[in-house]
Every structure is written in structure tokens, then in C-alpha cells.
């Protein structure tokens, strides 16, 4: 296996699909948003991207099986019958490419794949660090390849023109390749403050995104992911502490 490949697992035909990209990154905001939407929308696995630019790892499953690390497309079939109704593809994953060469290869492949499905509009989700303290009321920033969208997104309380600097990885490169292939892409970023997993930033993005895409999603569950991820962060902190205090059983989990 010498280059990245996408395997389509369902023969479903997405209708006018939108692509939402929620991959690991700053504050894990992208992953939280992607995984939450996938689970709330009960989206079905549609395609899997494998790549030699991901780490050479398989993940052990509770079933006693394994799966190779990947990025995965989940499809939500919009039940609306009217013309122009849009399905949603949600891209989530374990890792992003390790090298710059890998990032360029994978992200152009994703855009070409999505374009081949008739898709035209991409949203990538990320975190945007503004501080290293806890952010009480995270703002939502964005950049886009399509300036015509800015007024509408501004009306949805998304801030344009104030974020500056670089966007790394898929959240940024997908915009560049969308531009090259004449698609429209927008990167939506939740304000975050150096947390490993920032559910508050994810919640801020989700609220805006759900309204903007007119999705019917239980907003009460937003509290749940917020609590779950805070619990997860605490567990991680405790694991690190135990590690520093001395050996404990069953907390080493890798093999080669």
C-alpha cells in the first residue's frame, strides 16, 4: 500500500451532499463536532480512507477484532422529499497524516472524491486558540473560499476577518483544494484555550452549525458531550498522575 485510498462500503447515492469534516486537531473541536453529529443523525458508514501517511497502527476492539486506523465518511440521508434537499457526509477519523506530503495527498483525494459524488459545499471544523485559559463564552470564527457566503454566516454570529495566522492540516488544506477544484469550502473554528478536549468550543460550533444547516438535533445532548468530554479529560489527567506516581496495571496499551 503506497498511496492513500478511499473504499466505498455502501452503494447508496448521496443527493446534493454537503461535506462536514471533523478530524482530530486543536482542542479536538473537529472530532467532537463530527462524532456528535454522526451519532445524533445516526449517519451510516459510507466510505473509508486508508493511508500509509497515517501511523502504522491497528486499534483493538472489545469484540476481539481490530480495525486499521482511518478516516471515515458517514452518510446522513435527508428524509425531506423536496427538490434541493441535501444529504450530509460527515468525515471523522483517528488521525491526520503525519507528514506534509501526506497531508497534501490525502486532502486533495478527499476533495476529488467528494466532487465525484456531485458535492459542492464543504465545512471543516477546528479549534482556534486565543488564550491558554478556560474560555467561558467561546466565539466562533470562520474563513471561507466563497465571499458571497460571508453575510449569511455573519448573521449566524460567525465572526469573519478577526482570526489570523495559519490553519494546519485538513481544516485548512481542504479549503485550498476546494478552491482549486471549483468547490466552496468554509472552515468554522470554535474559540479554545489550550485544552486537550474542549467541549465548550465544540458546543458553540454545533449550535451555530445546526441552525445554519437547519438540522433537527436534540440540543440537550450537547450538555452530554460537554460532560462526557470533561470526564474524559479528567481521566486522562488522572492517568498521567498515576503514571508519575508509579506503575499501575493495564495502562500500557500499545504493542509492536
> Pick from 19, 175, 195, 222: which binds a copy of itself (CB under 8 A)?
175
Compute CA 255 distance to the chain's CA centroid, rounded to the nearest angstrom: 28
Hey, which residues between 77 and 96 contact a copy of itself (CB under 8 A)? 96
DSSP run (H or E) holding 122: strand 121-129
Q: Which of 16, 39, 57, 78 binds a copy of itself (CB under 8 A)?
A: 57
Owner of C-alpha cell 486522562: 236
Alpha carbon 145 to chain centroid distance?
18
Stretch that binds a copy of itself, among 11-19, 120-128, 204-212, 226-234 (CB under 8 A): 120-128
From candidates 13, 45, 67, 242, binder to a copy of itself by CB under 8 A: 67
| Long-range Cβ contact pairs of 209-214 (< 8 A, separation 24 or more) | 209/20, 209/33, 209/37, 209/123, 209/125, 211/156, 212/153, 212/156, 213/18, 213/88
Residue 155 within binding range of a copy of itself, rule CB under 8 A? no
Asked whether the beta carbons of 198 and 139 are under 8 A apart, the reply is no
**97 and 34 Cβ atoms separated by less than 8 Å:** no
If one asks whether residue 48 binds a copy of itself (CB under 8 A), the answer comes out as no
Residue indicated by cell numbers 498522575: 241
Residue 53 interacting with a copy of itself (CB under 8 A): yes
How many residues are there in the chain? Answer: 256
Give how many residues touch a copy of itself by CB under 8 A.
76
Q: Which of residues 13-32 bind a copy of itself (CB under 8 A)?
A: 25-26
Q: With binding defined as CB under 8 A, does residue 230 bind a copy of itself?
A: no
Cβ–Cβ < 8 Å for 153, 184 = no
State the minimum distance, in angstroms, from the CB of residue 219 to a copy of itself: 25
55 counts as binding a copy of itself under rule CB under 8 A: yes
Give the residue, chosen from 100, 152, 227, 235, that forms a contact with a copy of itself under the rule CB under 8 A: 100
Smaller CB distance to a copy of itself: residue 131 or 227?
Answer: 131
Answer left, alpha or beta for residue 234, where phi above 0 means left and psi between -120 and 50 means alpha.
Answer: alpha
CB 75 → a copy of itself: shortest distance, Å? Answer: 22
Amino acid at each position: 500500500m503506497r498511496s492513500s485510498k478511499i473504499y466505498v462500503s455502501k452503494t447508496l447515492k448521496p443527493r446534493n451532499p454537503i461535506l462536514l469534516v471533523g478530524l482530530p486537531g486543536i482542542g479536538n473541536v473537529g472530532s467532537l463536532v463530527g462524532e456528535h453529529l454522526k451519532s445524533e443523525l445516526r449517519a451510516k458508514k459510507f466510505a473509508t480512507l486508508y493511508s500509509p501517511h497515517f501511523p502504522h497502527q491497528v486499534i483493538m476492539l472489545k469484540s476481539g477484532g481490530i480495525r486499521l486506523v482511518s478516516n471515515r465518511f458517514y452518510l446522513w440521508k435527508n428524509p425531506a422529499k423536496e427538490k434541493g434537499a441535501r444529504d450530509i457526509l460527515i468525515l471523522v477519523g483517528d488521525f491526520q497524516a503525519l507528514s506534509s506530503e501526506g497531508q497534501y495527498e490525502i486532502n486533495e483525494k478527499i476533495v476529488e472524491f467528494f466532487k465525484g459524488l456531485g458535492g459542492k459545499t464543504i465545512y471543516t471544523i477546528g479549534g482556534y486558540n486565543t488564550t491558554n485559559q478556560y474560555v467561558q463564552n467561546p466565539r466562533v470564527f470562520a474563513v471561507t473560499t466563497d465571499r458571497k457566503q460571508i453575510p449569511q454566516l455573519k448573521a449566524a454570529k460567525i465572526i469573519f476577518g478577526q482570526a489570523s495566522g495559519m490553519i494546519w492540516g485538513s481544516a485548512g488544506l481542504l479549503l485550498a483544494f476546494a478552491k482549486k477544484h471549483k468547490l466552496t469550502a468554509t472552515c468554522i473554528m470554535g474559540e479554545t484555550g489550550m485544552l486537550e478536549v474542549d467541549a465548550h468550543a465544540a458546543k458553540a460550533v454545533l449550535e451555530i452549525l445546526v441552525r445554519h444547516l437547519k438540522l433537527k438535533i436534540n440540543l440537550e445532548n450537547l450538555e452530554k458531550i460537554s460532560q462526557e468530554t470533561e470526564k474524559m479529560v479528567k481521566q486522562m489527567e488522572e492517568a498521567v498522575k498515576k503514571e508519575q506516581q508509579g506503575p499501575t496495571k493495564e495502562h500500557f496499551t500499545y504493542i509492536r
